[in-house]
Copies of this chain bind each other. A is one copy, B any other.
């Protein structure tokens, strides 16, 4: 099975439409049809159920979509990491959620920079759920993730720290006088809905809260009195005025972990991991 065939199949399986898939791939529709037919013939498996008006995945097609994406990520990773390895400049790419670990990250970068043999670290900020992808397809070497929000499935990890969560409210809100609160107290505050985070595919479920993409956006909305936020304790150290945090007694604890793809412990990466765990 060639990667081109996989790319083609994934495009069709995602679009469920040969014409649009061909356009996305930058080729014409007939070669795409042929390629899929040949793929099915060689696998001896029907991947797509075509009626003249629609395309649907079979069970085997769903399996190939999932596995094919993973395989394509692995191929991309091989490509990118090889190019980077040749670039003479052997920096690391660290990815984390925008606005998260605002306290831990500078410490880690400073401590690592002081290590012997440290290499430049490029920091990539992205929305929730994108980090795993960046690690898997080779655009990043290491990530700071937050259990249980981020999945660490298929990654090697080391725990860095565990903390409780707080609710962040606009300063002056009545509840800010309480010494602590419970999740039930804040899950449906009148006028201060909890925000909605994007699903893995980038879309938002329907609901009352505002659509947010990162912590910075979210805290801005809270300051404007349009939302409440439940976040790890460490945001307290970076709350500007207009925001108040109140501990939540029964919210799940959050563990910050450093994560990296298996089988890719280069020397600089190992040093970074050691620095992080020793922090």
Contacts and interface: CB of A to CB of B under 8 A. Distances in A.
Interface of A: 1-4, 6, 43-47, 58-60, 62-64, 66-68, 70-71, 73-75, 77-79, 81-83, 85-86, 138, 153-156, 261-264
Work out how many copies of this chain go into the complex. Answer: 2
A75 B1 contact: yes
B86 A46 contact: yes
A74 B85 contact: no
B85 A59 contact: yes
Name the residue in A45, A73, A138, A155 with the highest tally of chain B Cβ atoms < 10 Å from its Cβ: A45
Name the residue in A3, A66, A82 with the highest tally of chain B Cβ atoms < 10 Å from its Cβ: A82
Nearest 8 CB-CB pairs, A to B?
A154-B262, A67-B78, A71-B74, A60-B86, A45-B86, A63-B85, A153-B262, A74-B74
Nearest to A67: B78
A44 B86 CA distance: 9
Contacts of A66: 263-264
26 contacts: A1-B79, A2-B2, A3-B3, A3-B75, A43-B86, A44-B86, A45-B86, A47-B82, A59-B86, A60-B83, A60-B86, A63-B82, A64-B78, A64-B81, A66-B263, A67-B74, A67-B77, A67-B81, A67-B82, A68-B78, A71-B77, A74-B74, A74-B75, A153-B262, A153-B263, A154-B154
Nearest to A132: B262
A228 B30 CA distance: 66
Contacts of A73: 74
A5 to B, nearest CB: 9
A110 to B, nearest CB: 28
A43 B4 contact: no
Nearest to A66: B263
Contacts of A43: 79, 82-83, 86
A44 B3 CA distance: 20
A90 to B, nearest CB: 9
Given A3-B2, A156-B153, A263-B66, A60 B82 contact: yes
A3 B68 CA distance: 12
Contacts of A46: 86
A47 B68 CA distance: 26
A70 B153 contact: no
Contact of A67 (B6, B47, B138): B138
